[in-house]
Amino acid sequence: MAASRLGKRVWGGLIAAAIALPAAQASAKEAVDLILHHGQVITVDRAFTLKTAVAVKGDRIVAVGGEELLGAYSAPKVIDLAGRTLMPGFIDTHVHPKPVSPNDIAVEAAKSISEVQAMLRAKAKELGPGKWITGYGWQESNFAEKRNLSRADLDAAAPGNPVALLRAGSHSAAYNSAAFKIAKVDKLTPEPATGLIERDANGEPSGIIRERMDVVSKFIPDPGWEAMRGPTITWLKEMLALGITSLHDASGTIDDEPEGKGGSDGRDIDPMWGGSNMTWKRAREIYAAMGGELPRITMYIIHPGAERLRAFPYHTGFGDNRLRLGAIGENAVDGGFTGPTAWLLADYKGQPGFRGKGRFTDAELQELVDSAAKLGWQMGIHAIGDAAIVQTVRAYHNALMTIPDPAHRPNDRRWFTDHFTIMPPEDTMATMAQDHVMIAQQPNFLYNLDDRYSALLDDWRLAHNNAIATPAKKFGLFMAFSSDNLPIGPLTGLYAAVTRKGPSGAVRGAEEAVSRSEAIRMYTANGAYLSWEENEKGTLEPGKLADMIVLPFDPLTAPEETLLSAKVDMTFLGGKLVYQRK
């Protein structure tokens, strides 16, 4: 009997141990908050490794690997990617917030001038006579008529309302007669410095002003920040739907900082951006309230003048991984091709003697660059034409050679030229390589502005517009991608970078294309490097922020046209699902 009871106890213990074993194994798994698996994970690490699963705890990536992660980690939320692609969120290194004001029409969606006119009639009826009607984002290539808006077009639709419609790219705008009357723009109005009023055969303003839109825009009542705070937040959330988890706001100012600390107490408000844009002060307020729900921002600061910049107590790098100060920029050295007034070293095609316009003398630009360099700021100046790039690089070189860096980054200042649309002479690129000057470029310009480039550029400049391979591979220049709102969607930029195709399908300089993996790196990891955050984000590696997107296709192998039509399925910011496509 005793032996029998002993045997029962031993046998019972073995059964209990066997039952407890799975529980012990389960408890041995490390607890995390989120696991995504059964997909293709593009890590964008140094070796461009491909995996299938990621584990996230808090806002950081814990592990990247294969399906074995399911055996090593447990999480309350496990997402089966079902073969979809997980990759780092896009980092747009040059974009301008464009929230919708109460007086705006959705002109960017118009497919014809008659559709614009219908929008104007409806908005005029809504607002009543005399009220300004505004809007952003039209472009003639989207119109069935394939031409610019004219004063007559706008007069026909809204004769009783002043109308101001900013073209995509913000380098020109269309106005009607009521707007010109308020601004006193007529046949006798002289050309504004650094701008151009387009005129008809009789010398009358035809409706388009290039670059100096402030000639009219200063008369448009500013809706004010209280009215625009909500639309600005809405716009920021829309970036998440495009897979953008970080962006560089290229229109930040310090105008509303206290006087004596960089601000102007309402004076000197930048005429292009007005008083309702998201300043550094306003961004701090928004991000203190809801930073975890919005894409991370690195904010450029438009140079406010040497005296005010000296009075501002911060410089590049101040802030945190939600909101931080970036470069001084994009103070424009020239215009753009949406004007067009980009400053070239050669005549525009079919326009003898016209090469665009520069906005600074050499001395003026040098003073701007030097004043920022002495205070430890990064530089990110707008230079689109090759002549503008030459002038900018020369000013950078002079400052870098003579002004020590007070931020203690003597060999790591990460200055960059913004745009780099028309490739400059080789000696300029050699100087950039020597000085470690980088590029924030918009490959989507090649796609979106192909008709403008075809009409305005000689054959060589047309083939090498928005060049990538030559500056990056021949001269070793570091390049990060962005959009400048033309359009914002990064997938269009990837398409243009790897195909060099415009909407017509014509290939522009195939030798300037890069591979898909190179283009993806330029839109993710390289963007993080531009703001000294390469150890924080831009790749899917342990320890980094879990800023990730899910694509319903493989961007490395899918047909090229997929990049133009596909949408983002999911966006994660610090491991939190902040967007999911319905």
What CATH number is attached to the domain comprising 310? 3.20.20.140
Does 94 map to a domain? no
> Which is more confident, 475 or 170?
475
CA distance linking residue 78 with residue 81, whole number of Å: 9
DSSP per residue over 308-336, as a string? HHHHSS--TT-B-SSEEEEEE---BSB--
- 132 and 205 in one domain? yes
- % the chain with pLDDT above 90: 81
- 359 and 256 in one domain? yes
Q: Which of 537, 558, 574 is the last residue of a domain?
A: 537
Does 276 map to a domain? yes
Does 509 map to a domain? yes
pLDDT at 275: 62
At residue 315, what is the residue type?
H
- 303 and 392 in one domain? yes
Q: Are strands 104-105 and 90-95 parallel, antiparallel or unpaired?
A: unpaired
- Contact, 467 vs 477, CB < 8 A? no
Does 99 map to a domain? no
- 478 and 390 in one domain? yes
State yes or no: pLDDT of 213 exceeds 50: yes
- 53 and 161 in one domain? no
- The structure's pTM equals 0.87
- 561 and 492 in one domain? no
- Domain enclosing residue 190, as ranges: 104-217
| CATH number reported for the structural domain that contains residue 576 in this entry | 2.30.40.10
Digit-coded pLDDT (tens) for 264-299 = 865 555 544 456 789 999 999 999 998 889 999 999
Digit-coded pLDDT (tens) for 368-394 = 999 999 999 999 999 999 999 999 999
> Which is more confident, 14 or 30?
30
Q: Which of 158, 186, 217 is the last residue of a domain?
A: 217
Does 579 map to a domain? yes
- 78 and 159 in one domain? no
Does 446 map to a domain? yes
- 567 and 530 in one domain? no
- 337 and 413 in one domain? yes
DSSP per residue over 23-80, as a string? HHHHHTSEE-SEEEESSEEE---TT--EESEEEEETTEEEEEESTTHHHHEE-SEEEE
| CATH number reported for the structural domain that contains residue 182 in this entry | 3.10.310.70
Digit-coded pLDDT (tens) for 453-462 = 999 999 999 9
Does 95 map to a domain? no
Quick count: other Cβ atoms within 10 Å of Cβ 549?
A: 24
Which residue blocks in 467-553 are alpha helix, DSSP H? 469, 490-499, 516-522, 525-530
Digit-coded pLDDT (tens) for 37-93 = 999 999 999 999 999 999 999 999 999 999 999 999 999 999 999 999 999 999 999
483-508 burial, b at 16+ Cβ within 10 Å, e below that, comes to bbbbbbbbbbbbbbbbbbbbeeeeeb
- 581 and 505 in one domain? no
The overall average pLDDT reported for the chain is: 92
Question: CB neighbours of 452 closer than 8 A, spacing ≥ 6?
Answer: 141, 337, 338, 340
Report phi then psi at 305, rounded to 5: 110, 150
- 255 and 163 in one domain? no
Tell me how many domains the chain contains.
4
pLDDT at 265: 63
- 504 and 554 in one domain? no
Q: Which of 217, 234, 259 is the last residue of a domain?
A: 217
Does 96 map to a domain? no
pLDDT at 264: 82
